[in-house]
Amino acid sequence: MDSCRTLIQIRFSSIEQFAPYRESIRSVFRTLGEREATLFFVALNEAVNNALIHGSIGDSDEGVELSIRDGDDRLCAIIRSCGRGFCNDLKLDPDVFDDGFRESGRGVQIILHIADECAIGESGCVMSLSMNKNGVVSTKSGE
């Protein structure tokens, strides 16, 4: 992202603390288009859940920090957990959704199938995902 500005920056340590921000996040994402905004929110929600469940140490004072930035051609969400982080190879699994009864373990795959770019850094404590704005060609490989 050449130039970007921070649109939203929040800290929370539970889903209940995150909930009041959901609508303002959705309204920011609408610049992507209605369908893409909904999809990107789903991906963000999965990343937030992963940060709270797998990456956070459960310390109510620190928890998770979310930053949403607007770049020239895309929106970027950066989710930072203040805990142990988690490992994932970020490889797409095209068969992950074949088992409709599987109740967990698909969050990163959902993110990878939706976001145009995704990265994990800082020993699994930071996940960044981005979505291109309308008219910008996706950089995903294999599509």
Cα–Cα distance measured from residue 76 to residue 131, given in angstroms and rounded to the nearest whole number = 7
Which whole-number Å values give the CA distances from 26 to 41, 102, 136, 137, in the listed order?
A: 7, 27, 20, 22
**pLDDT at position 85:** 67
Question: Domain coordinates of the chain in residue numbers?
Answer: 4-132
Choose among 98, 108, 96: nearest CA to 45: 108
**pLDDT at position 48:** 94
Q: What homologous superfamily is domain 4-132 in, according to CATH?
A: Histidine kinase-like ATPase, C-terminal domain (3.30.565.10)
**pLDDT at position 124:** 75
**pLDDT at position 123:** 77
**pLDDT at position 142:** 43
Each residue's pLDDT expressed in tens, for the chain with a length of 143 residues: 457 899 999 999 999 999 999 999 999 999 899 999 999 999 999 999 888 887 766 555 668 999 999 998 999 999 998 877 666 666 766 776 666 666 666 788 889 989 999 998 877 789 999 999 975 555 554 44
Cα–Cα distance measured from residue 137 to residue 140, given in angstroms and rounded to the nearest whole number = 9
